Structure 1
């Protein structure tokens, strides 16, 4: 998933329940006949910046491989429904982009063909990215770029307060307190009751040894207690319960938050304020010497089972081209993301030094579906439900998590 979107797709899990039946006849798709050099592509890059760069790259890939493409871009929160509709009518596209946590539930239906069937592989790719595109031991998608979240800080505000960027939870709480004054909060983050809230909480949960298989543990409760304490201290606005990541970025840009948890897709917005001097570091770990474990975002490109083997072979060429070294570097630069091939990291950071923290983070970052696969949405819902209950004072962290886990 590209985290610049709100991730509000509560209906996706319910729709997925109907997918296996709908997908059962995919081999008889309307695509099973026709000109194999004419491919249909479906993605959710429907705003101009994204659509522009991907249109260029897709067209270049098509030209290099002797095919033409018909591209359809839909809003992110409608993609799964679109896939369901197309599978039901047997009109799946030849190349399908998926938010990476959605891949496993779609692969489970039989709608996708393993990319390894076409001589493609994910060798040398960030391990967490490979895990996100793998279902039952087979790789079903290739992801050219990825993203994650880090801790942004206002260099001028921290310098004036004599505060160093925090590296531990204790330092984070102390720094946030010291940086809070007047209308300025020490830190901003996004904690709404949706997948976006879960995404932002995961670095704290995972870095403390928490696990999505069972969130009712002392490790997850301790992470949630940190968020509760930041609100109780007044270091974070109670509005975080409703803020999207875009809202948090607006607050940071305006100087109303000295630090924030967010992703590199906010760079263009922040850079509109030329008076804003900021930098990014990994989200603090629980204790000194600990590792910050962040979640991986981004989209993976797949080859649906349309029934037309020649089209599927040509679709594989497009997927391969999208994941070439040249295109990974281009897409990463244009979209404020990180190439997924480890061999490209040094070159990328040398060219894009502002992405250094994120390049470091993705190496140890985790796929959200790494443990639970297609059941991830259920766990994500439990997480944000427990977080909301604790932050609103409905229950102490451990009790809130127990109720969410058992709910």
Structure 2
């Protein structure tokens, strides 16, 4: 996401300490006024997110304002840089100044819900029907839904049609085909393949489809399945099919390399489509991420942000905020937002119609149906595993450790208290 949505780079947040968890649990209910119970008619609501990009913020302004009018309130919309969101949420929780409506990356939902700072959506009868299981689980903590995502995203394989045709290379479907294709597409000044392998959660996000599709699991990183997935990336760098610079590239950098013709294939998300479409001379296609063996379906991570209701001492404010949250997640609004951000509407039926209207999104729509939420297995411990994964990627691709050694170290990081 990183990207308009589902952006792991935007998902790098400060870790919630035990002391802070106790503090938030102790403060319990908070409201957006900062002065205890709110009395009188509710005329405005505060909203906080990390959509700081001008066009993106304006798009959300429009939808939020429309939903505010439906609920009979004025919206005060604030956006902060992605890395600042969670620290700000923790400060506001302790000061009892949380906004009325709060957006969170889905990977952060569980650790914030764990503190008691959020309200279950069932309290206000918000419709949670029609969502794929993985999408709904992204906003769930201990059996209660605390957040809903109007749209979601995942990753796929983008390829340059002209380059593949010129080299006589077919779109790869398996890992063996990927290595062969990447080697066949590599030329002077051009690599066959590119991924984000930098030392952030973005690279962990990009690695998950390879880990999961090979039967690996974030609960135990030091397994043969995980080592095989990491070995694939090592082999691509070692044989020259992938630049060593991937160790420093963000997903935006990977996109730039692809758009400039310096790589023939890349792993990236649908939020890149808007920029790719601006270059009329760039003929690109998108396909599922290659899998270990023919006939398998890739298992990809679920990206996207969920909207939540921070606890408030004002029942009236919470009810109004719930009305706005429900409005954001109506079928029509999820479709509008998905089109604006080149993402996938969260409701399954809406997503299916969208795929018919825009074939370039069909691969992402299909992948989202079976996508996994990053916190699904480890919950609040996911950030430790993610740190272990990108640390292993760095040490293996530099040759500091073998994939097996790197993942043994990763498991130690993930298991540390």
* TM-score bracket for the superposition, by shorter chain length: over 0.9
CA distance in 2, matches of 1:100, 1:248: 24
- Residue 309 of structure 2 aligns to a residue whose secondary structure is strand
**Larger CA deviation: 24-33 vs 222-231:** 24-33
**Larger CA deviation: 245-254 vs 337-346:** 337-346
In the alignment, which residue of structure 1 is the partner of 2:105?
99
Deviation at 1:354, TM superposition (A): 1.4
TM-score by length of 1: 0.97
- Given candidates 279, 283, 286, the residue that maps to 1:280 is 286
Please give the per-residue CA displacement for 1:286-338, whole angstroms capped at 9, x wherever unaligned. 10001101101110000010111111111111110000000000000000100
Cα pair distance change 1:397/1:295, threshold 3 Å? same
Please give the per-residue CA displacement for 1:81-112, whole angstroms capped at 9, x wherever unaligned. 11011111111111000011000000000000
In the alignment, which residue of structure 2 is the partner of 1:25?
27
Q: Does 1:289 align with 2:295?
A: yes
Q: Does 1:156 align with 2:162?
A: yes
In the alignment, which residue of structure 2 is the partner of 1:327?
333
Gaps of 5+ in 2: none
CA distance in 2, matches of 1:103, 1:338: 20
CA distance in 2, matches of 1:92, 1:130: 24
- Residue 188 of structure 1 aligns to a residue whose secondary structure is coil
Question: 1:2·1:299 contact (CA, 8 Å) conserved in 2?
Answer: no
Cα pair distance change 1:78/1:130, threshold 3 Å? same
- Residue 99 of structure 2 aligns to a residue whose secondary structure is coil
- Given candidates 127, 130, 135, the residue that maps to 2:136 is 130
TM-score by length of 2: 0.94
Query: How many pairs were matched up?
Result: 407
CA distance in 1, matches of 2:351, 2:12: 34
CA distance in 1, matches of 2:174, 2:361: 21
Q: What's the RMSD between the two structures over aligned residues?
A: 1.5
Question: 1:23·1:88 contact (CA, 8 Å) conserved in 2?
Answer: no
Q: Does 1:270 align with 2:272?
A: no
Q: Does 1:371 align with 2:377?
A: yes
Question: 1:8·1:194 contact (CA, 8 Å) conserved in 2?
Answer: no
- Residue 151 of structure 1 aligns to a residue whose secondary structure is strand
Matches within 5 A, 1:37-56: 37-56=43-62
Gaps of 5+ in 1: none
Matches within 5 A, 1:109-188: 109-188=115-194
CA distance in 1, matches of 2:21, 2:47: 20
CA distance in 1, matches of 2:25, 2:61: 28
Deviation at 1:42, TM superposition (A): 0.6
CA distance in 2, matches of 1:265, 1:17: 37
